[in-house]
Structure 1
């Protein structure tokens, strides 16, 4: 599948989606989101793909939404819009395999919100993250007010959203917005290393683990524990569980088949 605003490559079970609008710092518009929907649906249904990386390259991740698309909109226009952004982010967030954001340069507004739906965020040393919508007289409208507080806590999220200020990679690491900071020139290699590590694990167990975490966060603790046990039990009906435990007992590497 060919895209106009994205680059997509697949190698050794790892898919890499690269935002490709360098002339506008990878600003996100409806066309980008529609192509993200297509790419994410394709990868979600491809059994050969075990992990996904989303990046914008070494210079910029995504410098927010394309303001030209919104400047003349009215309240009714926004309320009745199709919102491909919401659909794209939902599909990525619920993809049944690990998704890693490799963030270099600016990840602002919609770009920051895109990173929030990924399972793991790696940042280059040049990364700057923020939700500056308040400086435009609006608020983060693609999940920022909901996902950011759940990730880093309400207090720090409110500080970032109310001020619109950016934070650098080290501050993002300190508050838990990113998992790791690496030299920018090593960012994609580090993301690929981590993705291949995930890809080597049992695909069914990964899917179940991701579901147990994400669904559990939407439940109270007791319901979450029950859901975790259901996921745990179901894995004992898989070939991967038998292979994993046999390999452990035989002191060899498991050969998971994703079944």
Structure 2
């Protein structure tokens, strides 16, 4: 499948799609065009059988500095109810992809950029990266799912503090709070993220999809409801070819060859 976008660079190699936010002169600010293209590419990646994992990063020195204020000032971005739903659909396209999404957080993730990063499954960050729910500096309500996503990572009280104060936190604090799972020197970030993504792409992708889905959707379920979901998942996964291959490889003391079936 060929991917051609104005605000994104997309390449696929060894079952890993690398998606790069590509407005470096604007610190990869989220224009309406970029939001639409982000949603589109993740919808396409969902049905691309040649892709098992996705890495999302930013071009230049920023990951994403948030919404494009020029779009707002010029009237291109009217943050009414309809636009808010559009933002949500973009974030849901990232979070709802039934494949692991690794954020290679190369620089500042602020505002909407923070939401885009949090929508990913794992965040590997440069030790120069920064993070901010910067909205209240302009009297704005956090969007892009930030209030829902951040609270589930750092807890409701810390999420409120970060959103009330619009504090910019550094990579070390991101790691301490669990926002970033690993830190790397800038030059090692993308190679490490791609290596991790390739490893996942070679794994049991059907199991990965269920792990992601069950963790994300399990928040709203009672424990009894979750056990029902888990039981259904076990019945499905134990009939998969990958499970049979995994068991056979374990017994035969060899590395399994998973095919996503």
Q: Distance in 2 between matches of 1:83 and 1:212?
A: 24
Of the candidates 143, 147, 150, which is equivalent to residue 148 of structure 1?
150
Kept in 2: contact 1:58–1:184 (CA 8 A): no
Kept in 1: contact 2:151–2:159 (CA 8 A): yes
Q: Distance in 2 between matches of 1:35 and 1:160?
A: 29
Deviation at 1:218, TM superposition (A): 2.2
Q: Distance in 2 between matches of 1:129 and 1:144?
A: 12
TM-score (norm 2): 0.94
Name the residue aligned to 1:243.
Answer: 245
Kept in 2: contact 1:216–1:225 (CA 8 A): no
Pairing 1:108–2:140 present: no
Deviation at 1:82, TM superposition (A): 6.8
Which is worse superposed, 15-24 or 84-93? 84-93
Of the candidates 148, 168, 182, which is equivalent to residue 180 of structure 1?
182
Name the residue aligned to 1:232.
Answer: 234
Q: Distance in 2 between matches of 1:67 and 1:8?
A: 25
Kept in 1: contact 2:24–2:59 (CA 8 A): no
Which is worse superposed, 187-196 or 208-217? 208-217
Pairing 1:44–2:46 present: yes
Which is worse superposed, 129-138 or 56-65? 56-65
Residues 165-191 of structure 1 deviation map (CA, whole Å, 9 limit, x = unaligned):
110000000011111111111000110
Instruction: List aligned pairs for 1:56-205, cutoff 5 A.
Output: 56-57=58-59, 59-71=61-73, 78-81=80-83, 83-205=85-207
- The residue matched to 2:195 in structure 1 has which SS? helix
Deviation at 1:83, TM superposition (A): 4.0
Q: CA RMSD in A?
A: 1.8
Residues 78-97 of structure 1 deviation map (CA, whole Å, 9 limit, x = unaligned):
12337432111101101010
Residues 151-176 of structure 1 deviation map (CA, whole Å, 9 limit, x = unaligned):
11011111110000110000000011
Q: Distance in 1 between matches of 2:23 and 2:63?
A: 10
Deviation at 1:252, TM superposition (A): 0.9
Unmatched runs of 5 consecutive residues or more in structure 1: none
Kept in 2: contact 1:6–1:19 (CA 8 A): yes
Kept in 2: contact 1:37–1:87 (CA 8 A): yes
Deviation at 1:196, TM superposition (A): 1.2
Unmatched runs of 5 consecutive residues or more in structure 2: none
Q: Distance in 2 between matches of 1:236 and 1:167?
A: 43
Q: How many residues align?
A: 259
- The residue matched to 1:61 in structure 2 has which SS? strand
Deviation at 1:226, TM superposition (A): 2.1
Which is worse superposed, 83-92 or 178-187? 83-92
